[in-house]
Amino acid sequence: MTDCWVEGAAGSLFDVDNLPWGVFSLPGEEPRVGVRIGDLVLDVAPVAAAEMLDSHHVFQEPSLNALMAEGRQVRASLRTWLTGLLTDETERDLVEPHLLPLGEVTLHLPVEVADYVDFYASLDHASNVGKMFRPDAEPLLPNWKHLPVGYHGRAGTVVPSGTDVVRPCGQRKAPTEDSPSYGASRRLDIEAELGFVVGTGSALGSRVAVADFADHVFGVVGLNDWSARDIQAWEYVPLGPFLGKSFATSISHWVTPLEALDAAWCDLPGQDPEPLAYLAPGSARGLDIAVEVELDGEVVSRPPYSSMYWSPAQMLAHMTVNGASLRTGDLVASGTISGAERDQRGSLLELGWGGQEPFTAAGRERTFLEDGDTVTLRYTAPGTRGGRIALGEVTGTIVPALD
Amino acid sequence: MTDCWVEGAAGSLFDVDNLPWGVFSLPGEEPRVGVRIGDLVLDVAPVAAAEMLDSHHVFQEPSLNALMAEGRQVRASLRTWLTGLLTDETERDLVEPHLLPLGEVTLHLPVEVADYVDFYASLDHASNVGKMFRPDAEPLLPNWKHLPVGYHGRAGTVVPSGTDVVRPCGQRKAPTEDSPSYGASRRLDIEAELGFVVGTGSALGSRVAVADFADHVFGVVGLNDWSARDIQAWEYVPLGPFLGKSFATSISHWVTPLEALDAAWCDLPGQDPEPLAYLAPGSARGLDIAVEVELDGEVVSRPPYSSMYWSPAQMLAHMTVNGASLRTGDLVASGTISGAERDQRGSLLELGWGGQEPFTAAGRERTFLEDGDTVTLRYTAPGTRGGRIALGEVTGTIVPALD
């Protein structure tokens, strides 16, 4: 194991066992593909061209989609190639001119999102929401432990980390009110999630088995599924969340390739009843990823991804069991990550128990998001070199509603 | 008003007051844009190039998206130009070599679908489904008359008319069963709908007013939202339909431009209670479009689009009221079109009342779709020349499940 020669990278959260992919631009130039190492971005295209890589054209694209479509083998060999470049001192003269300080580049939405599916895979989150939205019924609906519940979200409003979020307007009706009123959401919330990005699609009429997850998924992004709880609560029967979610979903600039998570796989908490055969966990496992929810500079929650009930591979198998095809760029989100403890909850709805049990952040009592609030989600996982790696963080600031 | 000189077009359902857009190919050639006139397809690109139209490049594309993105003014002036070409005998020598018999071309998916949203705008359909899915409760949920209920579907599985539909597998659980089982859907259904295709997008954080509908919508397609009722009934709480719908949605090859429907606008049946101001119907109106549902060669239903409760313009205003952006290629479907009478119902679920009241088609008693069934949806509307125009028909045949 040779150390990375890039200044400050070895032993950092962005060492050569991380190497996330993103899309950057320099002033006056078109966006293209980069790889993060330490606090620098490697401009891959000129290096790949100099080394006459077959796939060098994919690095000139304004999204990762062409790269992702190359498939698992290409992704793995590029990772080996990059690791060589960044650990072999003799490559330094070739590579160093193409390392750009993060502060000098603009980062963009890394993926052209095809379809966006959002699951609901945390037992604690689903139970908490059930208790609040349906107080007179069993918190967990009868289907929840038999299949990973999910729905389609709006792909066109997936935005990159750093994009301001305009407080949405819409119809809201409290249970105590006779009729709905129009106005800005009063219960604006976050959902701390992880997103899985599809690289290799699948044909209409075929299925992706649990065991074939890594043949289709390229990597992982941080994801904040902004939610207007008052709009959602009024609209969501019987066809599910719509405008309460569709105004914005933020994802990280960086896509962590699946191989960087090789040391992060862990056992699932356990599934009872045993799922039907097509969902049998088999080799499907959980991910030991630590999440931090920061509100106005203070960490208010640390949801553990390892507590998720359904594995990512089960989600992908479920969403294709009816023959639905996958496309390069499909984004599959986990749903809110919440652990069993109060300080492990991944939404303000749960942290403040629907506004009834305010919590404290940065010295102030809080329930839902206020204008000017900034939320940042951070994710780390065990790396393959013994330390930890950082996944792409995702941040956003609430700006006032229109009108 | 000069007659169309194309053989058989004048007075037909595809006269110059129709002129739907589509994408076709000839053997060994790339797909490109065509316009239907009579039983012929006009290969637009060479004619537009010969006449040096500014927008001639958009006709070389394999989808209508570039053409649709040109906006309302270009769409209208192209319509005027085409009408001139096809009614002025002196243009015949220029145009005639580029008229291709329908039987000699292959038709393709006309639109690269961005996001797909499906509404639920028929009062009779929503009431019928409510009675069957929630027999112990009010059929119409409290929000239904206050907002057009809708949800996001899967854009990646929108397929062109004529594509076979593989019977989907998944989890089903009848109310009388203790636990779900895996297998092929036993309650496979259609939904006869109309789809509206967005040409001109809108910015994130902005809204599309009811009055601005025609500035954004390019045209209309026939749409069959295939549905597996058993899968849907088990999965749909609380996040809405997912795998019960995501296996296939068929749309017509032809997109009827909005201008062809100028004579089809009609009053809405009436809305009570009055909707909130952002949904105030104003100039928003219904569409007098006649629909025919044909099962195995027999018309089993004639749903009237004029019976729809919510107008298309209200649907578009609602889905953007939270600031969600529109993109070229967004597909917005009406939801199942059902009238008040039994022979006006737009799904087999309603025609056979959940399997309890079988109906007859082609001499046989029927409930849900059987393998080998072919369903064809046909649509006509008043044209601007006094006769009728045909919108794009949509057809599909059920093939057996995998395994």
**DSSP string over A75-87:** HHHHHHHHHHHHH
Helix intervals (H) in B227-286: 229-235
The sign one gets for the Cα dihedral A122, A125, A131, A132 is negative
pLDDT at residue B1, as a whole number? 81
pLDDT at residue B54, as a whole number? 87
User: Given an 8 Å threshold on Cβ–Cβ distance, is A159 in contact with B321?
Assistant: no
pLDDT at residue A85, as a whole number? 98
Local structure of B57: helix, strand or coil: helix
Pairing of strands A249-251, A158-160: parallel
Exposed (0-12), middle (13-18) or buried (19+): which is A357, by Cβ within 10 Å?
Answer: exposed
The sign one gets for the Cα dihedral A233, A235, A237, A240 is negative
pLDDT at residue A84, as a whole number? 97
Cis geometry, peptide bond prior to residue A273 (ω within 30 degrees of 0): yes
Q: Which of B149, B322, B402 to mutate to test the interface with A (most CBs of A within 10 A)?
A: B322
Q: Are B219 and B21 in contact (CB under 8 A)?
A: yes
Is B98 assigned a catalytic role?
no
Distances in Å between the Cα of A128 and the Cα atoms of A74, A306, A338, A348 are: 42, 18, 9, 11
Q: Which of A145, A186, A242, A310 to mutate to test the interface with B (most CBs of B within 10 A)?
A: A242
Residue A281 banded pLDDT, cuts 50, 70, 90: confident
Q: Which residues contact A94 (CB under 8 A, 6 or more apart)?
A: A47, A50, A51, A85
Local structure of A350: helix, strand or coil: helix
pLDDT, average across residues A63-92? 97
- Options A57, A98, A125, A152, the catalytic residue: A125
pLDDT, average across residues A67-80? 96
CATH code at A21-107:
2.30.30.230
pLDDT at A134 over 90: no
- Which of chain B's residues have a Cβ under 8 Å away from the Cβ of A236? 238-240
Q: Where in chain A is the domain with CATH 2.30.30.230?
A: 21-107
pLDDT at B403 over 80: no
**Shortest Cα–Cα distance, B128 to chain A (Å):** 14
- Residue type (1 letter), A55: S
pLDDT, average across residues B16-44? 98
B41-70 confidence digits (pLDDT tens): 999 999 999 999 988 999 999 999 999 999
Q: Are B41 and B35 in contact (CB under 8 A)?
A: yes
How far apart are alpha carbons B322 and A233 in whole angstroms? Answer: 15
User: Given an 8 Å threshold on Cβ–Cβ distance, is A323 in contact with B278?
Assistant: no
Q: How far is CA B288 from the centre of its chain?
A: 14
pLDDT at residue B104, as a whole number? 98
User: Given an 8 Å threshold on Cβ–Cβ distance, is A240 in contact with B238?
Assistant: yes
- Which of chain B's residues have a Cβ under 8 Å away from the Cβ of A228? 322
* Percentage of chain B exceeding pLDDT 90: 95
Angle CA A254–A255–A259, to nearest 5 = 135
Q: Are B322 and B340 in contact (CB under 8 A)?
A: no
Q: Which residues of B136-146 are buried (b: 16+ CB within 10 A; e: fewer)?
A: eeeeebebbbb
Task: Tell me B179's DSSP state.
Answer: S
Q: Where in chain B is the domain with CATH 3.90.850.10?
A: 116-399
pLDDT at A381 over 80: yes
pLDDT, average across residues A176-180? 93
pLDDT at B181 over 90: yes
**Shortest Cα–Cα distance, B234 to chain A (Å):** 7
Local structure of B253: helix, strand or coil: coil
**A175 interfaces chain B, CB cutoff of 8 Å:** no
For residue A380, which of A372, A366, A391, A371 has the smallest C-alpha distance?
A391
Task: Write down the CATH superfamily of domain B116-399.
Answer: Fumarylacetoacetase-like, C-terminal domain (3.90.850.10)
Please, which residues bridge with residue A33 across strands? Answer: A23
Distances in Å between the Cα of B330 and the Cα atoms of A182, B121, B217 are: 25, 18, 9
How far apart are alpha carbons B42 and B34 in whole angstroms? Answer: 5
How far apart are alpha carbons A117 and B152 in whole angstroms? Answer: 10
User: Nearest chain A Cα to B172, which residue?
Assistant: A143
Tell me which residues of chain B, numbers 283 to 342, contact chain A at a CB-CB cutoff of 8 Å.
318-319, 321-327, 330
User: Given an 8 Å threshold on Cβ–Cβ distance, is B246 in contact with A166?
Assistant: no
The token duo for A152 is 């389609």
pLDDT at B282 over 80: no
User: Nearest chain B Cα to A317, which residue?
Assistant: B170
